[in-house]
C-alpha cells in the first residue's frame, strides 16, 4: 500500500498494508514470552533490490535486513540507526552524519562480510541512480547534482552532493532546504550497499528468490523465500542494537485472500501472532463469541487505497466491450470531469468498507482525501481543514463536504445525478453512446476484494442507472491482475478503465510525499494511477494535469514557512479532489478489527518510510495471552500521552543539531 513506493496490491491490499500498523508498544520482559512471530504476506517480490524497487512486496522482504541512517522508535520519532549523530548547516543545505562504528554487513548465513562505512551510502545512491530507481523522485530534486547525473548531463557521480568524508563521516548537500529531509532517510533508496559485494554478484544482486544475493546490517537476516509460500527471517546475532530485537524468528506465510477464515484459525492454533478479522466471514459470530473480550479496532493509518481512472487505455484483452464505439465512448467519458465526479459522488464508501470491516467497523476506514487529513497541521488547522477552505472555489457541488476520516463525506446521490446530467449532455454532443462500460479487473481468489468491487458496481449503477453506466468486473488470476496493474511494465499494459490496485503509503513527513507522485513527470506512478506515461501525453493535457504540476511545484518551492507550504499543498489536493482522477476509498492501514498476542504498542511507529510496524519487526514483543480490548485501550491511552511528551522533547532538541 507502503509504503509503496508502496503501491497497494489489489484484493488483499487492505490486509497487507495495514495489518501490523496497530502493533504498538508497552512493556514485557517476560523471558517465557514467545520468541517466534508468525503472520502473512500477500505478494512475492519481483526483486530484492531495495534501492530500486518502490513496491511493498520488496519492502516486506528487505526492510528488516537493511538499516539506513535512521529508524523510527515506538513514538514515531526518527532515531539514529547506522548514523550515530548528525548535524545540519545553518543554511539548511549541508547534512553531516557520523556513522556508527562496528556495524557489520552479514551474509544470509550469518557470516561477517565487512564493516558498514560512509562509502556504502554513497554507493547505494549511485546504484539507485544508475539503475533508474522507481523512487528516484525522492532524491533527484533534493541532492545537489543528482538530477543532472540521472539525466546523463553529467557522467561523474563524484560531483553529486553525497560524499564520504572518511569511513565514518557522510555528507549530503541539498539544492534547497528541506525541513523533512531526515525523514526521507528511513526510505530504502537512501540505504547502504557494499560495493565489493555488489560487483561480486553482478546481475544477480537482489535476485527475487535468493536471500544470498543481499548483505544484511539490520535486526534480521532473510533466511528463506519461497514463491507463493513463505518468507523466513532469523535474528541477526551480530546486530549493533540486538537488545531491542525480541524475536528469534519471523515466518510470513503467503495469503491469497481466498480463505479469510484461515488467518483466525492459524492465530488460534498459535501459528500466527496476530490476526486481522473479517466481520463478513461465515464464522465471525463464532470468532466473536470466542474472542469477545479480545477484539479491538486499530486507528486509521496514513496509507490510502482507492480507484484509479485510466485516461489513456491502450489494451483490451480483459474487457466486456465488443465494439470500437464502446471503447471510444468510455475513453471520452473518462476524460470528462463531470462524468468522473459523478462516479466519485455515486461511490458508497461505507458500503465498500463494510465488505471487509463489517457494518460496525465500516465507517472507521473510510478516506475522502488522497493525503490523510491530519497528516500535518498549520497552526490549529489540519491539512483537511485547509483543503476544505480551498474547495469552496471549485463549485457548489463541493459545499458542505466533510473530508475528515472515518465517515463518507463524498457519497451523495443527488450530486452524482446532477454531475452525470451535465456530463451526458456534453458527451452525447460528441457522439458518445450510452451506457458507458467500465472494466475493473479483480483477483478471482480474493473474496473480500471482489465483494468490495461488487459493492462499488451496485452503488454506481443504482445511483446513475444501468442505462447510463455499467461496471464490468473482470475476474482474472492473481498473476494476470498484477501484470496489468501492480507490475505492469508500461502504460500500454495497464488494461483497465478503473483499477482498485492503486494506493499509497507516505515516505516522509510532508504532503509532497503523496502529491508529488501524481505529477506528469512521474511515469512509474502515473501509469499505475491513470494509465498514461509521459509529461507530453495528450490525455494528461486534456484533463488539465499541467495545472496540477504547477500547483505542486509552487508548493515545493516554499521552504521557509511550513504553514504557507501546507496551504499551497492543500491547493494542489483541492485540484486533485475536484478532478476526480483518483477516487479515494479507504485507509489501507489500520481501522480494522484485530486479535493479537503482540504486546500493545511495542512496535515501531511511523506515518511514513520503510521502518513502520507494517514491515519492521525490530521492537516487537509477544506475550503468551491474547491481548484484551481493555488492555489495548489502556495501553493506547498511556502511549498517546507518552508520544506527545516524547515528540515535543525531540522537537526541542532539533535546534542542537544546527551547526
Instruction: Give dist(CA 530, CA 573) in Å, integer.
Output: 16
Lowest mean pLDDT among 20-24, 434-438, 618-622: 20-24
DSSP state of 485: T
Helix, strand, coil tally for the chain in percent (to 5): 40, 20, 45
At which residue does the C-alpha cell 468490495 appear?
452
* Separation between Cα atoms, residue 299 and residue 632, nearest integer Å: 12
Does 610 map to a domain? Answer: no
In the three-class reduction of DSSP (H, G, I as helix; E, B as strand; rest coil), residue 399 is classed as: coil
Q: Do the beta carbons of residue 579 and residue 572 sit within 8 Å?
A: no
Assigned domain for 455 exists = yes
Q: At what angle do helices 562-579 and 337-346 cross, to 10 degrees?
A: 90
21 confidence band (pLDDT: 50, 70, 90): very low
C-alpha–C-alpha distance, residues 176 and 142, integer Å: 7
Rounded to the nearest 5 degrees, what angle is found at the Cα of 68, between the Cα atoms of 302 and 158?
A: 120
Q: Which pLDDT score, from 0 to 100, does residue 608 have?
A: 82
Q: What is the reported pLDDT for 27?
A: 42
DSSP lists the bridge partners of residue 658 as 88
* SS3 (DSSP) at 97: strand
Which residues does residue 587 pair with via DSSP β-bridges, in sequence order? 304
What mean pLDDT do residues 503-532 have? 92
Domain count for the chain, please give it. 1
pTM of the predicted model, to two decimals?
A: 0.81
pLDDT tier at 540, thresholds 50, 70, 90? very high
Distance between CA atoms of 587 and 352, rounded to whole angstroms?
Answer: 12
What grid cell was written down for 163? 560524499
**Given pLDDT bands bounded at 50, 70 and 90, which one contains residue 592?**
confident
Task: Assess whether pLDDT exceeds 80 at residue 28.
Answer: no
Cell of 543: 484533463
Residue 400 lies in a domain: yes
Q: Decide: 310 and 415 in contact? Cβ < 8 Å.
A: no
- Per the prediction, the chain carries an average pLDDT of 92
DSSP string computed for 318-356: S----SHHHHHHHHHHHT-HHHHHHHHHH--HHHHHHHH
Range of the domain at 364: 304-587
Cβ proximity of 310 and 499 under 8 Å: yes
Q: Which residues contact 441 (CB under 8 A, 6 or more apart)?
A: 10, 318, 474, 476, 480, 481, 484, 485, 495, 496, 499, 501
At 30, the pLDDT band (50, 70, 90 cuts) reads: low
* Mean pLDDT value across residues 651-659: 83
Intra-chain end-to-end CA distance of the chain, in Å: 38
- CATH number, domain with residue 315: 3.10.105.10
Asked if the structure places residue 543 within a domain, the reply is yes
Reading the block at residue 143, the C-alpha cell is 541532492
Contact 567, 551 (CB under 8 A): no
CA distances to 64, 73, 91, 245, 289 from 600, rounded to whole Å, are 20, 14, 41, 16, 22
The pLDDT confidence band at residue 655, using thresholds 50, 70 and 90, is confident
The pLDDT confidence band at residue 615, using thresholds 50, 70 and 90, is: confident
Q: In what order do the strands lie in the sheet with 304-309?
A: 498-504, 304-309, 582-587
Distance in angstroms (rounded) separating the CA atoms of residues 470 and 435: 6
Task: Sort strands 469-476 and 436-443 into parallel, antiparallel or unpaired.
Answer: parallel
pLDDT of 15 > 60? The answer is no
User: Of all helices (H) and strands (E), which one includes residue 150?
Assistant: helix 146-151
Amino acid at each position: 500500500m507502503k509504503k509503496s513506493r508502496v503501491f497497494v496490491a489489489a484484493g488483499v491490499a487492505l490486509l497487507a498494508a495495514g495489518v501490523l500498523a496497530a502493533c504498538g508498544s508497552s512493556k514485557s520482559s517476560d523471558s517465557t514470552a514467545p520468541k517466534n512471530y508468525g503472520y502473512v504476506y500477500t505478494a512475492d517480490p519481483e526483486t530484492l533490490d531495495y534501492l530500486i524497487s518502490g513496491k511493498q512486496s520488496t519492502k516486506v522482504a528487505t526492510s528488516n535486513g537493511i538499516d539506513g541512517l535512521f529508524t523510527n522508535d515506538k513514538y514515531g520519532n526518527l532515531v539514529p540507526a547506522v548514523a550515530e549523530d548528525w548535524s545540519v548547516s545553518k543554511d539548511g543545505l549541508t547534512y553531516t552524519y557520523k556513522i556508527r562504528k562496528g556495524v557489520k554487513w552479514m551474509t544470509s548465513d550469518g557470516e561477517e562480510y565487512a564493516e558498514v562505512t560512509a562509502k556504502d551510502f554513497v554507493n547505494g545512491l549511485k546504484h539507485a541512480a544508475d539503475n533508474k530507481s522507481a523512487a528516484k523522485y525522492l532524491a533527484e530534486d533534493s541532492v545537489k547534482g543528482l538530477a543532472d547525473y540521472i539525466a546523463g548531463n553529467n557522467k561523474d557521480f563524484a560531483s553529486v552532493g553525497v560524499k564520504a568524508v572518511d569511513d565514518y563521516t557522510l555528507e549530503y548537500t541539498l539544492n534547497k532546504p528541506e525541513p523533512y529531509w531526515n525523514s526521507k532517510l528511513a526510505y530504502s533508496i537512501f540505504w547502504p550497499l557494499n560495493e565489493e559485494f555488489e560487483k561480486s554478484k553482478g546481475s544477480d544482486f537482489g535476485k527475487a528468490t535468493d536471500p544470498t544475493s543481499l548483505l544484511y546490517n539490520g535486526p534480521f537476516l532473510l533466511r528463506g523465500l519461497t514463491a507463493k509460500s513463505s518468507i523466513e527471517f532469523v535474528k541477526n546475532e551480530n546486530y549493533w542494537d540486538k537488545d531491542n530485537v525480541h524475536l528469534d524468528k519471523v515466518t510470513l506465510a503467503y495469503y491469497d485472500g481466498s480463505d479469510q477464515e484461515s488467518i483466525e484459525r492459524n492465530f488460534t492454533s498459535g501459528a500466527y501472532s496476530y490476526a486481522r478479522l473479517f466481520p463478513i466471514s461465515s464464522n465471525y459470530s463464532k470468532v466473536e463469541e470466542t474472542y469477545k473480550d479480545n477484539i479491538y479496532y486499530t486507528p486509521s493509518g496514513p496509507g490510502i487505497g482507492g480507484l484509479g481512472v485510466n485516461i489513456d487505455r491502450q489494451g483490451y484483452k480483459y474487457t466486456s466491450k465488443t465494439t470500437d464505439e464502446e471503447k471510444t465512448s468510455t475513453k471520452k467519458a473518462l476524460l470528462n470531469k463531470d462524468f468522473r465526479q459523478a462516479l466519485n459522488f455515486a461511490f458508497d464508501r461505507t458500503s465498500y468498507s463494510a465488505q471487509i470491516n463489517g457494518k460496525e467497523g465500516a465507517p472507521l476506514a473510510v478516506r475522502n482525501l488522497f493525503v490523510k487529513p491530519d497528516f500535518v497541521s498549520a497552526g490549529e488547522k489540519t491539512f483537511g481543514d485547509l483543503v476544505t477552505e480551498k474547495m469552496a472555489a471549485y463549485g457548489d457541488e463541493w459545499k458542505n463536504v466533510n473530508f475528515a476520516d472515518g465517515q463518507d463525506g463524498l457519497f451523495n446521490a443527488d450530486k452524482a445525478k446532477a454531475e452525470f446530467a451535465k456530463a451526458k449532455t456534453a458527451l452525447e454532443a460528441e457522439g458518445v453512446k450510452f451506457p458507458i462500460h467500465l472494466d475493473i479487473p479483480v483477483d478471482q481468489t480474493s473474496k473480500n476484494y471482489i465483494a468490495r468491487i461488487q459493492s462499488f458496481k451496485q452503488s454506481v449503477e443504482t445511483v446513475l442507472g444501468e442505462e447510463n453506466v455499467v461496471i464490468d468486473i473482470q475476474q482474472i488470476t492473481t498473476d494476470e491482475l498484477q501484470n496489468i496493474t501492480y507490475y505492469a511494465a508500461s502504460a500500454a499494459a495497464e488494461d483497465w478503465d478503473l483499477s482498485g490496485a492503486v494506493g499509497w503509503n507516505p515516505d516522509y513527513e510532508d504532503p509532497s510525499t503523496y502529491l508529488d507522485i501524481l505529477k506528469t513527470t512521474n511515469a512509474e506512478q502515473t501509469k499505475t494511477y491513470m494509465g498514461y506515461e509521459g509529461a507530453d501525453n495528450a490525455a494528461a493535457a486534456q484533463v488539465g494535469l499541467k495545472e496540477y504540476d504547477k500547483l505542486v511545484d509552487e508548493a515545493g518551492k516554499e521552504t521557509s514557512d511550513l504553514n504557507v507550504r501546507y496551504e499551497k499543498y492543500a491547493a494542489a489536493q483541492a485540484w486533485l479532489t475536484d478532478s476526480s482522477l483518483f477516487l479515494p476509498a479507504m485507509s489501507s492501514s489500520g481501522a480494522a478489527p484485530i486479535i493479537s498476542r503482540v504486546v500493545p504498542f511495542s512496535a515501531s511507529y511511523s506515518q511514513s518510510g520503510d521502518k513502520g510496524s507494517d514491515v519492521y519487526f525490530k521492537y516487537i514483543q509477544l506475550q503468551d495471552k491474547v491481548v484484551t480490548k481493555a488492555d489495548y485501550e489502556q495501553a493506547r491511552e498511556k502511549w498517546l500521552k507518552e508520544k506527545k511528551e516524547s515528540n515535543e522533547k525531540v522537537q526541542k532538541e532539533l535546534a542542537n543539531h544546527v551547526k
